[in-house]
Structures are given as C-alpha cells and as structure tokens.
Structure 1
C-alpha cells in the first residue's frame, strides 16, 4: 500500500546538519533520494517521517 507524499526530516548525529525533504512511498519503501550528509556520514541519522 503506497501512501503518497511524505515530509522527511533527517538529522545527522555526527555534525548536527538538518535536512527536510519530500519523500514518496514506493513498494512499501520510503524514497527521498538522500544518500549522505555533507560530512560524508552515510549511516548515523535520526529520521522523522510526517505524512501530509
């Protein structure tokens, strides 16, 4: 079940950078296009999802 567009807040735990992106649910997985932080962190994030 795809839920449509979603607001995604990503916080880097290494440098504290914040990103607010629009995501889309596809095949049960949330896709934003986000790959890594500006500090090259690829794994250590806090992620908050908000449907709208």
Structure 2
C-alpha cells in the first residue's frame, strides 16, 4: 500500500527538480570542486625551473 504512494511521489519529485534548474546548481558545484582540486595540485606539485647555461 505505501510502496505505490512512495514511488509516485518520488517520481514526481525527480521530474520536478529537472525543470527547476537544480541540475545547473550541481554542475556549478562540480565545476567549483574541479577548479579547487586543480589549484590544490598546482600548489602541491614542484615547479619546473629552467637551468641557466
């Protein structure tokens, strides 16, 4: 009895979130996480220095 109501309401919530732009928020959050990881790698990795001749 409760499984039918839960499945219907869950389907309504997931289809509703797709139209409200929540997916764009997750893409923005993922982009920020990738940018933060890239800058952290730049700080950790040693820099290559040119040798003078």
TM-score, normalised with respect to structure 1 = 0.18
Q: Which has the higher strand share?
A: 1
User: Would you tell me which structure has more helix in proportion to its own residues?
Assistant: 2
